[in-house]
Structure 1
Amino acid sequence: MDLEEKIAGEIVISDDPGSTMRKWREEFRITQQELGRYMGISPSVISDYELGRRKSPGLKMIRKFVLSLIAIDIGRGGEIVKRFKKNYGSDAIMDIREFWRLVSREEIVKILNGENLNEKADMKKPVYGYTMIDSLRAILEFNSNDYLKIYGWSNERALIFTGVKFGRSPMVAIRAHPLKPGMVIFARPENVDSLSIRLAELEGLPLVVTRLEDGEIIKRLRNL
């Protein structure tokens, strides 16, 4: 079961959803103030839910609550998420998710305030999910089985690499492997070199650069 589904499910079926929300917030070691800032609501609203002063939260509120917990943790390094997601194998896989609807490459670029460096790529094609990967950990830890895990249910997905300097290593690995993603995204690279762009052109893949922090990337993509 996906961690998001586990948390949301516990809240929905709980006889005391507010106390369950509090349990998970404290499990993630997030204060009401920090969570409120991230969700764009007053900390008193969170307190009211937790103490039962407000009626049970609706599905929209629960989804926003859960996504915020996960995104804040990812922004801190993902300690709690990793603890609950050991079934993903290597810690290099920071997050993995399938989309609930059809999403185009072009939409992903817009959502992440990205810049596509391969103008030849077809941006109308759909992607069906995303995987965020810690590039350095992947180099040090990945085995062949871990490489297959990054593709989830479909290889037509966005592979998001953090900790990238020039982008050569991820693009060379993609070029060498028969299984290809739907698009490649570098989060805050130092400088993408011409070889990386050329490899993206040869594979027909969008090569996108975003300056967003990891937690914000997770938040935006999980809201799709």
Structure 2
Amino acid sequence: MTKIIKKYNNTTSIIAKNIANDLIFNENAGKVIQKWRDIFKISQKDFAKTIGVVPSVISDYESGRRQSPGLKMVRKIINAFVKIDREHGALISNEFATIDDNEKLNDAILDISELSNPINVNDFSEIINGNVIVKTNNENIYGYTVIDSIKAITNLSQKELSELYDMTQKRALIFINVETGRSPLVALKVTGLNPGVVVLHGVTKLDALAKRIAEVEGITLILSNSKNVDELLLNLKKLK
């Protein structure tokens, strides 16, 4: 998947990069395909024709009857949307180009702070009512960034995600609105960045792949049991 991102980062196709990010960072590729079809106002039949497959293939992806597309099909999907965009005068690309990147980035960040005094992983976990699932070190944490995972993954480009995650060295990267934890951890693996600590809030059942990525990449992983986001943010303020 990383090869796809690199390929499109070297082009001027804004729409290709946005679609590639969506397909890579979203756990439900079928919903991504449907979302972009809706944006382009194109039917399953016409989209399938552009790709060179029968309409039932697109229908199966979107309904979840077919597994997520492989690399070859992902490229076909991206190229099809790029072709459609060009045929319509790059209207969608131009629309995305007018979006204020800083505004999107700021919208995804709920709170960001430097700590006057560094804190170790165990003490940090206790303050946010957390359970340490994967512990790779007990290094001090010098700050934290609270991110709305849904807004970050659905609205930010690969470059913006990299910029966001790049601000998290020796810091705690805290994701809210998380269901399984897979998307945030996959995103970190793809970007190749390794924050001091990753905290997931809102997880009902931790995804096995998310835990495995944390173990392999050497990322300390904590699940916060704070009752809600407000309580989590209130606990974090105790560190300031």
Secondary structure of 1:132's partner? strand
SS at match of 1:191: coil
**Contact residue 179 and residue 205 of structure 2 kept, 8 A:** yes
Q: Which has the larger radius of gyration?
A: 2
C-alpha displacement of 1:146: 3.0
Code of the aligned partner of 1:219? L
CA distance in 2, matches of 1:182, 1:101: 16
Task: Please tell me whether the aligned partners of residues 173 and 199 of structure 2 are also in contact (alpha carbons under 8 angstroms).
Answer: yes
Q: 5 Å matches for 1:1-224?
A: 89-118=105-134, 120-122=135-137, 124-151=138-165, 154-212=168-226, 213-224=228-239
Letter in 2 for 1:135: S
* Equivalent residue letter for 1:138: A
What is the rounded CA distance, in whole Å, between the counterparts of 1:152 and 1:98 in structure 2? 15
Aligned partners of 1:121 and 1:204 also within 8 Å: yes
* Contact 2:113 2:143 (8 Å CA) reproduced: yes
CA RMSD across the alignment: 2.0
User: CA–CA distance in 2 between the matches of 1:88 and 1:106?
Assistant: 33
> Structure 2-normalised TM-score?
0.52
In structure 1, the gaps of 5 or more residues are 1-85
Deviation of 1:168 (Å): 0.7
Matched position secondary structure for 1:180: coil
8 Å Cα contact 1:90-1:146 kept in structure 2: no
Q: Normalized per residue, which structure has more helix? A: 2
Shift of 1:145: 4.4
Percent of paired sites with the same residue: 34
Structure 1 residues 137 and 196: CA distance shift in structure 2, 3 A: same
The separation in 2 between residues aligned to 1:171 and 1:186, in whole angstroms, is: 10
Q: Structure 2 CA distance, aligned partners of 1:193 and 1:151?
A: 21
TM-score, normalised with respect to structure 1: 0.56
2:98 maps to none
Aligned-pair CA distance for 1:149 = 4.4
Write out the 4+ residue segments of structure 1 that deviate beyond 4 Å after TM superposition: 151-154
Q: Is the 8 A contact 1:88 1:149 kept in 2?
A: no
* TM-aligned CA distance change 1:205 to 1:152, over 3 Å: closer
Q: Which runs of 5+ in 2 are unaligned?
A: 1-101
Q: Deviations over 1:109-149 (max 9, x none)?
A: 1111111111x522x21111111111111111112443244
**CA 1:134 to 1:152, structure 2 compared with 1: closer, same or farther past 3 Å?**
same
Deviation at 1:178, TM superposition (A): 2.6
